[in-house]
Amino acid sequence: MLSTSSDPDCPLVEFVGVEKVYDGGRPAVANLDLAVRKGEFLTLLGPSGSGKTTTLMMLAGFEAPTGGDIRLGGRSIAGTPPHRRNMGVVFQSYALFPHMTVGQNIKFPLDVRGIRGLEAEARLAEVLALVHLEGLADRRPDQLSGGQRQRVALARALIFRPDIVLMDEPLGALDRQLRERLQSEIKQIQHRIGATVVYVTHDQTEALTMSDRIAVFSGGLVQQVDTPQNIYDRPANAFVAGFIGENNGIPGVVTARGEATCEIRIAGDLVVQATPVGSIAPGDAVLATVRPEHVLTEIGGDIPCNRFSAAIEELVYHGDHSRIRAILPGGATLTMRAPGRAALSQSQPLTVSWCADRCLAFPAEPALAEAAE
């Protein structure tokens, strides 16, 4: 969004070497360096237990880091209690106050700041319009649907114009259709008021569609922080490659390494040309990844390298595309997408191919294999 207003030199929030260890266990968050720019939508994405929610709770002040420092506008907030941090938090469970009406809920942050009367009413009307809840101010939370409740929670977190809005899986309890609608609504609202949002989710689609930047968490470590496009197209390691979007992972061994390419021998002594990511030398075990949409069938393909005959193991028609699971001669399986109703049948032999620059080679880690299970 407003990339012009974000100034990379002066981040709004900085995590500097932050660590959180619960007594005796392994770190929930380790060695975290992360900057949140003013006005950006930053998503913390990762599987459960990866440390993303702990990071958010440390920022909100509900958890204290066991090491490092968190700064807001350049100043440490380590000693600031959560109610003085001026951050609006939206929880997955909505956390509305059941004994108050919608209006009372939303005005609560104003009330505790001594803002009452006409100004409070004006601001209430403003945020109610923002979240499309006009006329519901007198309802009680238990008279609202899940989507409406989350809008109330959002309005309540916005009305006091916090420095930053924190959202902890806010759409996790909603069904898919509603989730998608609220995704775009939240994004629009954030865009309109220029709010800084830190958003926690385990849903990669949500992260890709909503974020300005994504921080991918795994095992308490940040794996990569980048724009959605870079996260998808240029994953920093095998975990990110496997966690974000759909991907094929083919294990192999490096046989030759050039400046921008390398050769990998995979099962069946097939040789694959790939783009190396990170330090890779001949003899290393690697994982070559290629996304299903980048694997071409014979019909469209005119690619010089990575051209193999394959057998179709499964063919599923999806309307706008067909998904094919193919087996290479050495036994490696590949998932691919063919556009529309491709003129293919299960018995037919197939030639598959993909570009070397679409095929990334990562140092082999068990992480991708785990994530892919």
Output the smallest distance, CB 100 to other proteins, in A.
8
CB atoms within 10 A of CB 253: 14
Output the six-digit token pair for 85. Answer: 């941090």
CA-CA distance, 70 to 288, in Å (whole number)?
37
Output the smallest distance, CB 327 to other proteins, in A.
12
CB closer to other proteins, 6 vs 85: 85
Which positions touch other proteins (CB under 8 A)? 60-62, 81-89, 91, 93, 95-99, 108-109, 112-113, 140, 142, 153, 156-157, 160, 166, 242-243, 245-250, 292, 325, 333, 335, 369, 371-373
CB closer to other proteins, 80 vs 351: 80
CB closer to other proteins, 30 vs 106: 106
Output the smallest distance, CB 40 to other proteins, in A.
20
CB closer to other proteins, 39 vs 170: 170
CB closer to other proteins, 91 vs 185: 91
Output the smallest distance, CB 3 to other proteins, in A.
28
Output the six-digit token pair for 95. Answer: 């956390």
Distance of CA 120 to the CA centre of its chain: 35
Helices then strands (H, E): number in the chain? 9, 20
Indicate the DSSP class of residue 282.
T
CB closer to other proteins, 259 vs 373: 373
Three-class secondary structure assignment of 84-146: HCCEEEECCCCCCCCCCCHHHHHHHHHHHCCCCHHHHHHHHHHHHHHCCCCCCCCCCHHHCCH
Query: Exposure of 140 by Cβ count < 10 A (0-12 exposed, 13-18 middle, 19+ buried)?
Result: middle
Distances (CA, A) of 229 to 17, 208, 223, 341, 372: 27, 8, 15, 28, 21
Output the smallest distance, CB 109 to other proteins, in A.
4
Report phi then psi at 71, rounded to 5: -120, 140
Output the six-digit token pair for 270. Answer: 């097939």
The identity of residue 259, as a single letter, is E
Helix H or strand E encompassing 350: strand 349-353
Output the smallest distance, CB 112 to other proteins, in A.
5
CB closer to other proteins, 133 vs 167: 167
CA-CA distance, 247 to 337, in Å (whole number)?
11
Output the smallest distance, CB 329 to other proteins, in A.
17
CB closer to other proteins, 136 vs 372: 372
Output the smallest distance, CB 232 to other proteins, in A.
13
